Amino acid sequence: MVPTVDWKEGKVILVDQTKLPLEVVFNEYSDYRDVMLAIRNLVVRGAPAIGVTAAMGVALGAQDIDAQDGTEFLKKLEPICSHMASARPTAVNLFWAIRRMQAFAEGLQEQPVARIKASLVDEAIRMKAEDIAVNRAMGSYGAAFVKDGDSILTHCNAGSLATAGFGTALGVIYAAHEQGRRVKVFADETRPILQGARLTAWELMQEGIDVTLITDNMAGYFMQKGMIDLVVVGTDRTVANGDVANKIGTYSVAVLAKEHGIPFYVAAPTSTIDFSIASGEKIPIEERDASEVTRVFDQVQVAPEGARAANPAFDVTPARYVTAIITEKGAFRPEDLHKIQDPQADLESLRVKTVGK
Ligand code: MRU
């Protein structure tokens, strides 16, 4: 798997996802403001990858702070964090990661400034490793829902490229594949930005997984024909009642899945769960430039000159359409999700182990 995000010799390295799959190019960043722009412009995208990149961006910005002591350092770290937080509004991992970096620095306030700077780099690198470990754990819980010979539909890209490695929804598929189950994937192309066509199809082909690319409006056709056994998607922000924000079009897939009695799973690391929001209508939805709709991947104009277009980047799937939310702590029914916040919760009794079709 191509590394999505890395820290090397004082720089942040990103594989440029706007160029995939035609070119595999790695960009180097030595200014945190450029890291923010890389997130905003989708050089790196996918909630967990955004989180880890933002943490590395904060660590990068921290290196240039000129401060006499920890108090002054923290004051100067604040605008770097707020700037990074302005990159995109929906994926909660962005805010989660920045807050974690800030809290970590606060805990080191009494240390020499050079020590705080070095520790922030270590913390960002640790977050990358943790993300991969979390995805592997999610994969092993999720693989239990995949039977030999299953056909799985996915939307957008929730793979290795959307995380620090291995992926969330695709991590479930990789784990089932590693366990020797034969799986077939249907990848929605995911207009307007085509993450499914450009990234999911490419990534799965690299890993030797049988993938068929379909346009978004073909999902119902294949479900009706009995050719989809389950759906698994990622999420940008899942909230306390189990409502799920994910790439625009996810909601339509979920409604279709329910109509056809097909299980609909969401792979959600706990870094993507926002327990501070009670239900989905409070999730901020990013509205992107209309040119992403009137043109195909900024290459070909497909709409009349001056056509008005709307471009919400995410939608919210109500919890009632979700069979289970797969986390690194296990898979849970959406209505039980809020219970896993409690450190005393008996997770074993809450876990969903198998779900029939
Ligand atoms: O606009 P994007 O490409 O950042 O949207 C990504 C998604 O919607 C993913 O499904 C989500 O972030 C989960 S990634 C593991």
What are the boundaries of each domain within the chain? 5-134, 144-350
User: Is 148 a catalytic site residue?
Assistant: no
Q: Which of 6, 131, 188, 236 is catalytic?
A: 236
Distance of alpha carbon 59 from alpha carbon 338, whole angstroms: 32
pLDDT greater than 50 at residue 225: yes
Q: What pLDDT does 353 receive?
A: 85
- pTM metric for this prediction: 0.97
Query: pLDDT at position 297, please?
Result: 77
- pLDDT grade for 354, boundaries at 50, 70 and 90: confident
What value does the mean pLDDT take over residues 278-305?
95
**pLDDT value at residue 129:** 98
CATH of 5-134, one of 1.20.120.420, 3.40.50.300, 3.30.2130.10, 3.40.80.10: 1.20.120.420
Tokens representing 227?
């050719």
337 lines ligand 1 (CB under 6 A): no
CA 270 to CA 90: how far, in whole Å? Answer: 15
**Residue 199 in contact with ligand 1 by CB distance below 6 A:** no
List, for residues 157-174, the tens digit of each pLDDT value.
999 999 999 999 999 999
Length of the chain (residues): 357
Distance in angstroms (rounded) separating the CA atoms of residues 162 and 169:
10
Residue 355: its pLDDT value, please? 63
**Contacts of residue 272, Cβ cutoff 8 Å, sequence gap at least 6:** 47, 48, 91, 92, 93, 168, 234, 235, 236, 237, 238
- Confidence grade of residue 54 (pLDDT, cut at 50, 70, 90): very high
The answer to whether 34 and 84 have CB atoms below 8 angstroms apart is no
pLDDT at 93 over 80: yes
Q: Considering only CA atoms, which residue is closest to atom 15 of ligand 1? A: 158
Q: What is the DSSP string of 66-125?
A: --SSHHHHHHHHHHHHHHHHTS-SS-HHHHHHHHHHHHHHHHTTTS-HHHHHHHHHHHHH
Q: Is the CB of 245 under 6 A from ligand 1?
A: no
CATH architecture, range 144-350:
3-Layer(aba) Sandwich (3.40)
- Mean pLDDT value of segment 142-158: 98
pLDDT band at residue 150, thresholds of 50, 70 and 90?
very high
